[in-house]
Structure 1
Amino acid sequence: DEAHIASSRSLEFRERFLTATDGRGMDVILNALSGEFVDASLDLLPRGGRFIEMGRTDIRDPGTIAADHEGVEYRAFDLIEAGAERIGGWLAEVVGLLEGGVLEPLPVASWDVRRAREAFRHVSQARHVGKVVLTVPRVLDAGGTVLVTGGTGTLGGLVARHLVSVHGVRHLVLASRRGSAAEGVAELVVELEKSGAVVTVAACDAADRDQLAATLAAIPAEHPLTAVIHVAGVSDDGALDTLTAEQVERVLRPKVDAAVNLDELTAGADLAAFVLYSSASGVVGTPGQGNYAAANAFLDGLAERRRARGLAGQSLAWGLWEQESTLTAHLGDSDRARMERTGVRALTSEEGLGLFDAALATDEALLVPLHLDLGTLRTRAASDGELPPLFRGLVRAAGRRTVAGEADTSGAEALRRRLDAAGEPERRRLIVELVRQQAAAVLALPEAAQVEIERPFREAGFDSLTGVELRNKLGAATGVRLSPTAVFDHPTPAALTEHLLEHLAPDGGAQAVPRLLTELNRLEQTLKSLDVDATAHTEVTLRLRTLLSQWDTKAAPAADDSAEDLRSATDEELFGFLDDELETP
């Protein structure tokens, strides 16, 4: 079948060219095809001519070609036969044409040699235009200069020491807004210089293009810029719908604006590394850090964009580091405990620097260095199922097994049953205890009793992040969909309890009736829009009759004949009743 298809295509190929030339065919053919296409190409020389075989997969015998195709001169061409001198002359002429603008060079796509398999697959599928080049990864040159933004901070200092002690870097520019006035800089410089490095501390706001350009221009030509490590950044957390323009600008400026300036001002430099310190918040998502997540997601995209342009670029979406920095100085023990409960543990300096080295040795634009506690993730998935999508494939949560015929009374369903069976005082006590227990867990308090029901959440130590965590925990425990700012909209445990009770146990069921009618109206619209087969129609009808029977049993007023009529109604009569009685106001 494949041979037949190839033969048909070759005949079509020949006929199209002969038609386009009024049957005259060609005078010269440069061939790189094989099989049936070679024969079809030879038929395009009906008046004789030259057939130059450029390929190596299907070389023919010149004598046979001359006998079968009168006037055709066949030659298999091998470039090397021209000799080095002649080939050099051709290349010199081509270079001259390129320099004169007569010819334009073909586009070049570069692939790291560590991705050679992908590069060859790309070529084999004919997806490339121009040249595909394999490049050898560069190491940090001891004679070059490495720029570290945020270089006077905690993480910047760790990176600087590591570059000197492990990578042999001898020329560093540590840039930060405070420069030499930053705390601990003098000691850092002395330490680095004792290790043999020449260190320049620059008071430079990388988000200011002119300041950054001046800092780069000051790098001596004999020690050109060979790497950029962008560590600078700040955080200013807040729930998404409470963020102000100032908070967004404060976070994006040192991350995004500085990264754009670094990208544009170093585009012409031959860099061995362009590393952006990003955050896992942009990949996994962290409650209360919408602005910070957006800034870091931009860095991740910028690294990809640089790679697409053939430039060095790598974004490291770090998790929390154990060593305190300006970004994490505000975190207390409860904050760190909260993060560990998510299944992400803090990285030690040794772990972080080891991951930095591993990243430099990996040809990936985006990496996420995290210390994951799979046991905690597994427990978390089993308890409330709320795992970031990125983590769901890492662990498998065992579902709770139930005995045949036994209902699963765990979680929100069990709570609702307890509330239905309880009186008003008991309902309030249950919800108050739930709120206090979950608040104590978020704040890492040993006892729920330490959470005072009339004390505002903010005074107790809640911020945007912990407020969202409490909201998530209460939502999972109750099944109530709370707003991200629910903890601060209802600022005390007592107020939040009343808010939950409004959803979970309305007084005497009076408040439930409007909500029930609303749901029935929605059901009515759904039923009207459905176009189902007979099987599905029967299933829905049986379910509706079951619900109606349960409602009749629950109803306190004396039954009248209509109830019996409904129980004996046909399908058409039942749906007619829904149309008549549940009209949307």
Structure 2
Amino acid sequence: ALSAPDEAKLLADAILTPDPEPEVALRRGRRYVPRLVRAKAPAAAPAIRKDSAYWVTGGLTGLGLEVARSLVGRGARRVVLSGRRAPSEATKQALTALEERGAEILVVSADVARPFDVDRVLEEIDRRKWDLRGIVHAAGVLDDAVLLRQTSERFAKVFAPKVEGTWNLHRSTATRKLDFFTLFSGGASLMGSPGQGNYAAANAFLDTFALWRRAQGLPALAVNWGAWADVGMAAALGADHAARQAGEGIGQIPVKTGMNLWGRLLGQQGQVAVMPVDWNRFAQVFHGGSPPPFLDRVVTGPRGASAAPTQLAAASTRVPIEVDDAPAPDLSGLPELFGRLVRAPADQHPAIIDGWVHELVLRVLDFDRAKQLDRTTPLLDVGLDSLLAVELKNAMADGGVDLPVARLMTGPSIAIIDGLVASWVAEHPPPVAAPPAARAPVETNGATHETGPVAVHRPTWEQVGTWRPNATAEAGSAGGNAVMTHIGAFVLGVFAILAAYVITQIGTDGGTADGSPGVEQAAPAPASKRRR
């Protein structure tokens, strides 16, 4: 086994050696990196037992209620639904319809973040002599804000159902013979999501917990769902939000399709992701055509600046964007704003910058393209909030201008932003190339964006070499400790800090069936005991 000094040297080498990988795991002298890979859902769904009971948390609204419908449709005749609030009239009607199909529905008001409530639900199940065989943990809440405006209270609110609820469910059912223990996680923990650092971290706990629980020999599956159509938290944000995401390559999951996939995944263990994403477009919008290594297996289009479009991509599917079709310099590799600047004389640059900023503001605020905003009015007065400020910052970065998000969150006017952009351009002048022959006009309609089919993916770890502290050091044995480094990757970095608060130890048991570094047999400490 590696000695402590050798492990320390491996860790130091991993940190100090230039490496494009933002996240690396060292296991017994082997180096692993995370990748998102395509996977297939099983062709058939595991059987649901008519004589058994199934518990859905968050089961009285939205996605949880759809799970209840799916369970009954698959043959379940005893379903337990819990939620913090009493069912609405619409929910009562839905439950009546399920009962008319022959199902017994037990509705319990309970907060799974409270151990007493979880035990109370289980006591009622036992009192009825129901055989509990499956749990679907679909409870969750949002409290969005950029990290600068996040607070411990906001984190605690989002963590309560996800982190504490998961632990309480595990603690109270660990000795029961369950067929499945499914955690509804989100794509935010894999890809990040502006303004949702607390939500991403809470879901990342679910992902890690599922792997840990599986290592205990207990059933567990975390599903990183993308946005759902018609139900769930994303649907509640409205059509404008869905349109913006469509422009970024992110689609929505139809309820029928998603529930069919969920049923087929019931027998799976570990972690899977179900997301309808056009990965090439996603990489272009969020990463300038140069996706992070984690997406290497799913992004198939051209990489780098050569992938950049020569016009702004409409974030709202209702907004067309003008494209200058005049003869231009060779813009290969240039961001969009600089492409406009190099084809125009210097005295036109202020007007070009102003027009570009105005376009982006209209796009982010989802205003009509023909609308003219007062250049001196603070954007806070016309609807810019902290989340939209992050979106504006990202859109400007795609065009070649990287302004501090904190500056944009103050809601400056377009005129002030024009000055900030002009200063950036002056400090980062674009190269000028000879113009090519005139080209044909480019047509854009801004009408729709393809976002890719609803697909199943699996996060995994791939071995990419070996690391040794010296030529004679042993690679280690199955009992060796693990060295994990989380470098860069802002959202994942936040999770690493939070995970240290929730999990007592992360290590290895010698690897898992899917090739991922193993998780040591040490239980996460219950978060409920550490809350003030």
Common fold, TM-score beyond 0.5?
A: yes
> AA paired with 1:158?
E
User: Which residue among 133, 137, 140 is the counterpart of 1:233?
Assistant: 140
Q: Measured at CA, do residues 464 and 189 of structure 1 come closer, stay the same or move farther in structure 2, by a change above 3 Å? A: same
User: Which residue among 120, 130, 150 is the counterpart of 2:58?
Assistant: 150
Q: Higher relative contact order by CA 8 Å / sep ≥ 6: 1 or 2?
A: 2
What's the counterpart of residue 396 of structure 2?
474
User: Which residue among 141, 159, 162 is the counterpart of 2:67?
Assistant: 159
2: CA distance, partners of 1:353 / 1:228: 15
User: Which residue among 195, 207, 213 is the counterpart of 1:300?
Assistant: 207
What's the counterpart of residue 84 of structure 2?
177
Q: CA deviation at 1:143?
A: 1.4
Q: Is the 8 A contact 2:77 2:104 kept in 1?
A: yes
Q: Measured at CA, do residues 458 and 268 of structure 1 come closer, stay the same or move farther in structure 2, by a change above 3 Å? A: farther
Q: CA deviation at 1:261?
A: 0.6
2: CA distance, partners of 1:157 / 1:226: 18
Q: Measured at CA, do residues 406 and 184 of structure 1 come closer, stay the same or move farther in structure 2, by a change above 3 Å? A: closer
In the TM superposition, 1:163-562 aligns within 5 A as 163-166=71-74, 168-180=75-87, 182-220=88-126, 222-325=129-232, 327-328=233-234, 330-361=236-267, 363-373=268-278, 376-377=281-282, 380=285, 384-385=288-289, 387=291, 389-394=293-298, 395-397=300-302, 399=306, 408=332, 410-411=334-335, 414=338, 418=342, 421-423=345-347, 426-447=348-369, 449-478=371-400, 480-505=401-426
Q: Is the 8 A contact 1:342 1:380 kept in 2?
A: yes
2: CA distance, partners of 1:452 / 1:392: 43
- How well do the aligned residues superpose, as a CA RMSD in angstroms? 2.9
Q: Is the 8 A contact 1:238 1:465 kept in 2?
A: yes
- Structure 2 residue 26 is the aligned partner of structure 1 residue 141: no
Q: Measured at CA, do residues 417 and 457 of structure 1 come closer, stay the same or move farther in structure 2, by a change above 3 Å? A: closer
Q: CA deviation at 1:315?
A: 0.5
Q: Measured at CA, do residues 406 and 144 of structure 1 come closer, stay the same or move farther in structure 2, by a change above 3 Å? A: closer
Q: Per-residue CA shift, 1:376-413, capped at 9, x if unaligned?
A: 447648x9326465444322226279xxx967473268
Three-state SS of the structure 1 residue aligned to 2:126 is coil
2: CA distance, partners of 1:276 / 1:151: 13
Q: CA deviation at 1:206?
A: 0.6
Three-state SS of the structure 2 residue aligned to 1:235 is coil
1: CA distance, partners of 2:105 / 2:80: 6
What's the counterpart of residue 51 of structure 1?
none
Q: Is the 8 A contact 2:228 2:235 kept in 1?
A: no
Q: CA deviation at 1:374?
A: 5.0
Three-state SS of the structure 2 residue aligned to 1:486 is helix
Q: Is the 8 A contact 1:455 1:492 kept in 2?
A: yes
Q: Measured at CA, do residues 392 and 413 of structure 1 come closer, stay the same or move farther in structure 2, by a change above 3 Å? A: farther
Three-state SS of the structure 2 residue aligned to 1:447 is coil
Deviates more, 1:263-272 or 1:241-250: 241-250
Q: Per-residue CA shift, 1:530-583, capped at 9, x if unaligned?
A: xxxxxxxxxxxxxxxxxxxxxxxxxxxxxxxxxxxxxxxxxxxxxxxxxxxxxx
Three-state SS of the structure 2 residue aligned to 1:276 is strand
Q: CA deviation at 1:204?
A: 0.3
Q: Measured at CA, do residues 195 and 389 of structure 1 come closer, stay the same or move farther in structure 2, by a change above 3 Å? A: farther
Q: Measured at CA, do residues 407 and 467 of structure 1 come closer, stay the same or move farther in structure 2, by a change above 3 Å? A: closer
Three-state SS of the structure 2 residue aligned to 1:462 is coil
2: CA distance, partners of 1:466 / 1:487: 9
Q: Per-residue CA shift, 1:76-135, capped at 9, x if unaligned?
A: xxxxxxxxxxxxxxxxxxxxxxxxxxxxxxxxxxxxxxxxxxxxxxxxxxxxxxxxxxxx
Q: CA deviation at 1:449?
A: 3.7
2: CA distance, partners of 1:389 / 1:332: 32
Q: Per-residue CA shift, 1:240-266, capped at 9, x if unaligned?
A: 122112211111112111111111111
Q: CA deviation at 1:329?
A: 5.5
**TM-score, normalization by structure 2:** 0.62
1: CA distance, partners of 2:423 / 2:343: 12
Three-state SS of the structure 1 residue aligned to 2:357 is helix
Q: Per-residue CA shift, 1:334-381, capped at 9, x if unaligned?
A: 2111111221101111111122122214x3311111112356447648
Deviates more, 1:462-471 or 1:448-457: 448-457
Q: CA deviation at 1:217?
A: 1.1
Structure with a larger share of its residues in helix? 1
What's the counterpart of residue 549 of structure 1?
none
> AA paired with 2:167?
V
Q: Measured at CA, do residues 375 and 412 of structure 1 come closer, stay the same or move farther in structure 2, by a change above 3 Å? A: closer
Highest CA radius of gyration, 1 or 2? 1
**TM-score, normalization by structure 1:** 0.57
Q: CA deviation at 1:486?
A: 3.3
> AA paired with 2:122?
L
Three-state SS of the structure 2 residue aligned to 1:178 is coil
Q: Is the 8 A contact 2:384 2:411 kept in 1?
A: no
Q: Is the 8 A contact 1:162 1:353 kept in 2?
A: yes
> AA paired with 1:393?
R
Q: CA deviation at 1:459?
A: 4.0
Q: Per-residue CA shift, 1:300-329, capped at 9, x if unaligned?
A: 11111110000010001110001143x236
Q: Is the 8 A contact 1:285 1:388 kept in 2?
A: no
Q: CA deviation at 1:503?
A: 2.4
Q: Is the 8 A contact 1:148 1:160 kept in 2?
A: yes
1: CA distance, partners of 2:215 / 2:52: 25
Q: CA deviation at 1:233?
A: 0.5
Q: Is the 8 A contact 1:437 1:448 kept in 2?
A: no
1: CA distance, partners of 2:138 / 2:257: 17
Instruction: List alignment gaps of at least 5 residues for structure 1.
Output: 1-136, 507-585
2: CA distance, partners of 1:446 / 1:206: 44
1: CA distance, partners of 2:64 / 2:330: 58
Q: Is the 8 A contact 1:380 1:387 kept in 2?
A: no
Q: Measured at CA, do residues 302 and 153 of structure 1 come closer, stay the same or move farther in structure 2, by a change above 3 Å? A: same
Q: Measured at CA, do residues 189 and 330 of structure 1 come closer, stay the same or move farther in structure 2, by a change above 3 Å? A: closer
- Length, aligned pairs only: 360
1: CA distance, partners of 2:69 / 2:52: 16
2: CA distance, partners of 1:211 / 1:449: 53
